[in-house]
Amino acid sequence: MHSIVIFASGTGTNAQAIIDHFKQNGKAHVSLIVSNKAEAGVLEIAKREHIPFLIVDRNTFGQAMMLEQLTELKPDLIVLAGFLWKIPVSVINAFHGRIINIHPALLPKYGGKGMYGHHVHDAVVKSGDKQSGITIHHVDEVYDNGATITQAYCNILPSDSAGDVAARIHLLEHFYYPRTIEFLLEHL
């Protein structure tokens, strides 16, 4: 069975979708959840699902002890699911080609530092774009820059608020992210 480590900073809806997907099909399991926020909702999910978790701070993130813990788990993939910190080069090098992220827009538009969650959806609505979507991509040393794995689209109506767009984006994320992870694991 494949092993996944999830990095998340927020409520964990994508983490839950991933956990549920693999609980149902048995092709992988989440061996660890890493968060940079002690109050993140994803940690409640970890507790409820009996998944070990690690809380990191700026001093420990990417340092030898954390890398050692990750290496011992031998994850097939590290999956960023709403993780708001840039991944240190030490982690990228240790797990080269095995770290992926989901971004709530069609990259290269609306990417980069500070472009997450409602900030992205606000910018999309203000731009007047007729479509938005998600981008699942490999992680490199630059925010939202790694090679695209897949994108999925949704239409934006003239009357849509940022909240309306966010709701459609969540549906895309929860459907496509677990299935993309499964595809990648099958083709390692």
Task: Write out 52-115 in H/E/C secondary structure.
Answer: CEEECCCCCCCCHHHHHHHHHHCCCEEEECCCCCCCCHHHHHHCCCCEEEEECCCCCCCCCCCC
CATH of the domain at 43: 3.40.50.170
The position carrying tokens 């480590």 is 5
Expressed as residue numbers, the domain containing 121 is 2-186
Is 2 assigned a catalytic role?
A: no
Mean pLDDT for 156-167 is 96
Binding residues: 12-14, 58, 101
Give the per-residue pLDDT at 113. Answer: 87
Determine the residue type at 136: I
Q: What is the pLDDT of residues 59-94, one digit of tens each?
A: 888 888 899 999 999 999 999 999 989 999 999 999
Give the tokens for residue 117. 């969650």
Q: What is the pTM (predicted TM-score) of this model?
A: 0.95
Q: What DSSP string describes 12-60?
A: -HHHHHHHHHHHHH-SEEEEEEEES-TT-HHHHHHHHHT--EEE--TTT
> Cβ distance 8 to 40 under 8 Å?
yes
**Would the pLDDT of 166 be above 90?**
yes
Q: What is the pLDDT of residues 128-151, one digit of tens each?
A: 999 999 999 999 999 899 999 999
Which of 2, 50, 103, 170 is catalytic? The answer is 103
Q: What mean pLDDT value characterizes the chain?
A: 95
Total Cβ atoms within 10 A of residue 163: 11
Binding residues for (6R)-10-formyltetrahydrofolate: 58, 101
Instruction: State the total domains in the chain.
Output: 1
Give the per-residue pLDDT at 62. Answer: 82
Give the tokens for residue 2. 């494949």
Give the per-residue pLDDT at 158. Answer: 94
